[in-house]
Amino acid sequence: MVLPSFKHVETSAFNVSSMTGVLVLITILCQIIYKLYATPLRKIPGSKSFATTKWRLAYEDYKGVRTQTIHALHQSYGTAVRVGPNEVSFSSLSALKTIYGAGSGFERTDFYRMFDVFGRQNLFTFAEVKKHAERKKLLAHAYSKSVILSSQAIAKPLIEKNVKSYLDLLDREKGVAEEIFQSLHWFSLDTITGFLYGDKLEYSGTNALTGNEKHRELLGDIIDPSRRKLSWFVVHLRAYTKWLYSRSGFTEKLFQSLGLFPMRKPTTYTGIRAHALMSTNRFDISVLFRQPSGPALSLIQKLWESTNAGETRLLGSPDMASEMADHCLAGIDTTSDTLMFAIWALSRCQNKAYQQRLIEEVTSIPETECNEDGIPTVEAADKLPYLGAIIKETLRLYAPLPASEPRSLPVDTMIDGYTIPARTVVSMSPYTLHRNEDVFPHPLIFKPERWLGECGDLTEMKKWFWAFSSGGRMCIGLHLAMAEMTTLLAAIYRDYTTSEYEKQKGVSPGITSRFEVFYDETLPQMEEHECWINFEKRR
């Protein structure tokens, strides 16, 4: 028997290695060829670098410019753009109706699973239309406009009380309140927790506006800018991120010292999620000893009553906690960021005429339409047309969630004449829709009169306005958010005029949204999570 020489074995191993490398290369080339020339998506315009690999768009995500990049691609290629091997962005009204219209059948993608809480899905993360509809049915009535404006429900007195607390903060700690990014977060936190749990401390309502430091600290991990980097890792390196944050002891300390964690613990939403779990547990304990009596006011009580049939709970405590945490998180940044941009825009020198017009409108509210504290009622603020126009223009230009909303369909379909294979990710963004020059002349300029029919086709603009999404997934909390914003702005400008601090002039405030920061791109500078406004009392 003749044994193979070492050289022969080495040569054979080299040949096997070479063959493997060739096969891998051929496989990669075949995939590239398919992505570029064989898939039905090849007919959709776009850059070949984006069509070849998902990491091209992931790189734009990492830089924090995904939405602006896709917007620029639309300007170059048209209303349908391929932004990934399996992802297409649209920017037409017909696509909007096809993808997001009621009964479209399109589902949310796995992207939204990053918002699961305690391993449980909630209204925001359900992909399937049926599951989402079943959960929404339990919650929708509490958010209806008639309930939000009702004196017998919780929202109206709660909002008016918190508006008074915000004005008191301006009187008591003017220097603190004038950094409005922070103080408006306190306002939205106190309002949403009061709406969810009731505004009593024992039921886990918060008192950030009145100085409770523990409650103010709940926002620490939300306003930390490093959350953008963590979001990128969660979306693009999900398994690795999950493994990384499960480390403990020496390994955790080692990785921390090496700077491997995208965001130091506690990570985004930790405080709010812990608060939701504590609040839900408190509620569960309270109902063990006495059944809730009288009309259900807080959302948690409404949800508990609507999911109890005899002794059967349709939703367990983890599901309730997940739902409460999700609603809390959804109600903080969105409302506070919009209020911040509205006040900032009105305070800029070039927009003084808009502020004066608003002051004239809110000071015309009769005393009979104000409460005992002199605060305009929620109903009175809701009826002010110019105030409504200011908020709508703020949402158009500075939407708190301006990025794309991904969807997919389990079967092949057609969108704007293009064949879209099953499970292709399709999306649209308010950012691009709201910057259509044909619909919104001079789209980067703040012009509230657009929404009063004084500039452009109002009917057409309404069709393109998408700050709250549309269809079955339309923002469930829009009436609560609008009530908060209109009432607070009416109260502020009834008593104050506002202007920018000297250091704020020429500097846009910036907000965090997923893995991006958004701001007024017409200005040369931006300061993330900071905005200084001078409040001068008139009376």
Written as one letter, the residue type at 371 is: N
**Cβ burial, residue 211 (10 Å; 0-12/13-18/19+):** middle
Which residues line the annotated binding site for heme? 475
CA neighbor of 400 nearest in space, from 533, 486, 482, 511: 511
| 314: number of Cβ within 10 Å | 12
Which residues line the annotated binding site? 475
In which order are the strands placed within the sheet that holds 425-427? Answer: 80-84, 87-90, 425-427, 407-408, 107-108
The Cα 286–Cα 68 span in angstroms is 49
Encoding tokens for residue 467?
Answer: 């700050």
Which residues, including other chains, have CB under 8 Å from residue 276's CB and lie 6 or more apart? 117, 321, 322, 324, 325, 328
The Cα 403–Cα 426 span in angstroms is 13
Secondary element (H or E) of residue 313: strand 312-313
Encoding tokens for residue 83?
Answer: 């932004």
> First CA to last CA across the chain, in angstroms?
108
Q: Are 117 and 437 in contact (CB under 8 A)?
A: no
Q: Looking at residue 454, what DSSP letter applies? A: S
Secondary element (H or E) of residue 72: helix 66-77
Q: Looking at residue 117, what DSSP letter applies? A: B
The Cα 411–Cα 106 span in angstroms is 10
The Cα 235–Cα 109 span in angstroms is 12
Q: Pairing state of beta strands 413-415 and 533-537?
A: unpaired
The SS3 of residue 21 is: helix
Q: Are 35 and 84 in contact (CB under 8 A)?
A: no
Q: Pairing state of beta strands 107-108 and 308-309?
A: unpaired
